[in-house]
């Protein structure tokens, strides 16, 4: 066996030992287990103060002191991701029962032209979210500052398929963003309901 082969074997052995040491170290330190699939843990960053007009004309503002929140970004005419996101949220609220009253659930429109009050109400009715989700609407001038604050890409006008930022952000009762689901992939309703219960302390 020549010297080059011996050196390669030694390097591979050392690499394997290093990986094993890292795995053992993590296990011994009791590190946090990975979160639910699709959930990105955030470093408890502050939430932009978000205010606007609900589809029913009421004023909406969050975060509110002592109230956790769940925020997402939708448009009523969306044919794919938004209906699924709304359905997942509604089912998670069903699962948590009374705890659903302890969390603010808010959507921010990404389609100012299409998200008329009538269109939004029909969307919320289809997904059993009337009275359970606030939905901020407005003109482009009114919504652009919210999109910038949340670093959201709006739905391009006239585009038939979803092409906007789609996620569900979890906010704790101190107004900090602590996690975000990518709404571009299916979310486990059980995982989302567990996160809601954790946020509400139930």
- The total domain count for the chain is 2
The whole-model pTM stands at 0.78
Residues 14 and 41 in one domain: no
State how beta strands 59-62 and 50-54 pair: antiparallel
Range of the domain at 139: 36-200
Q: Report how far apart the first and last C-alpha atoms of the chain are (Å, whole number).
A: 65
Tens-place pLDDT, residues 73-119: 999 998 888 999 999 999 999 999 999 999 999 999 999 999 999 99
Residue 166 and residue 29: Cα distance in Å, rounded?
A: 35
- The mean predicted confidence, pLDDT, of the chain is 81
138 with 101, same domain? Answer: yes
- Report the candidate in 168, 86, 148, 159 with the shortest Cα–Cα distance to residue 120: 86
Tell whether 127 and 171 lie within a shared domain: yes
**pLDDT interval class at 13 (50, 70, 90):** very low
Q: How far is CA 76 from the centre of its chain?
A: 18
Q: Say yes or no to pLDDT of 11 above 70.
A: no
As a whole number of angstroms, the distance between CA 70 and CA 154 comes to 19
CA geometry: angle 108, 111, 115, nearest 5 deg:
80
Rounded Cα distance, 188 and 68, in Å: 20
User: Which range has the worst mean pLDDT, 13-17, 65-69, 192-196?
Assistant: 13-17
Condensed to tens digits (0 to 9), the pLDDT of residues 138-173 reads 999 999 999 999 988 887 776 666 656 678 999 999
Q: Flag whether pLDDT at 14 surpasses 60.
A: no
* Same domain membership, residue 137 and residue 177: yes
Share of the chain above pLDDT 70, in %: 74
Compute the CA torsion angle 76, 130, 102, 80 (nearest 10 deg): -30
Are residue 61 and residue 153 in the same domain, yes or no?
Answer: yes
Kindly indicate the confidence band of residue 29, based on its pLDDT and cuts at 50, 70 and 90.
very low
Alpha helices in 127-188 (DSSP H): 140-150
**What letter would DSSP give residue 137?**
E
């Amino acid at each position: 066996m020549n010297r080059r082969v011996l050196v390669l074997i030694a390097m591979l052995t050392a690499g394997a030992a290093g990986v094993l040491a890292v795995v053992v170290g993590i296990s011994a330190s009791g590190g946090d287990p990975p979160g639910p699939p699709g959930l990105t843990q955030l470093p408890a960053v502050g939430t932009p103060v978000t205010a606007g007009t609900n589809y029913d004309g009421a004023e909406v503002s969050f975060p509110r002191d002592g109230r956790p929140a769940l925020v997402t970004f939708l448009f009523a005419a969306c044919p794919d991701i938004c209906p699924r996101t709304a359905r997942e949220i509604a089912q998670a609220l069903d699962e948590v029962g009374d705890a659903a009253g302890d969390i603010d659930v808010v959507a921010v429109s990404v389609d100012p032209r299409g998200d008329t009050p009538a269109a939004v109400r029909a969307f919320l009715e289809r997904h059993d979210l009337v009275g359970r989700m606030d939905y901020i609407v407005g003109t482009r001038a009114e919504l652009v500052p919210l999109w910038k604050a949340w670093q959201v890409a709006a739905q391009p006008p006239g585009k038939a398929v979803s092409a906007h930022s789609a996620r569900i952000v979890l906010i704790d009762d101190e107004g900090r963003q602590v996690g975000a689901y990518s709404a571009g992939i299916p979310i486990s309703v059980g995982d989302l309901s567990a996160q809601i219960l954790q946020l509400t302390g139930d």
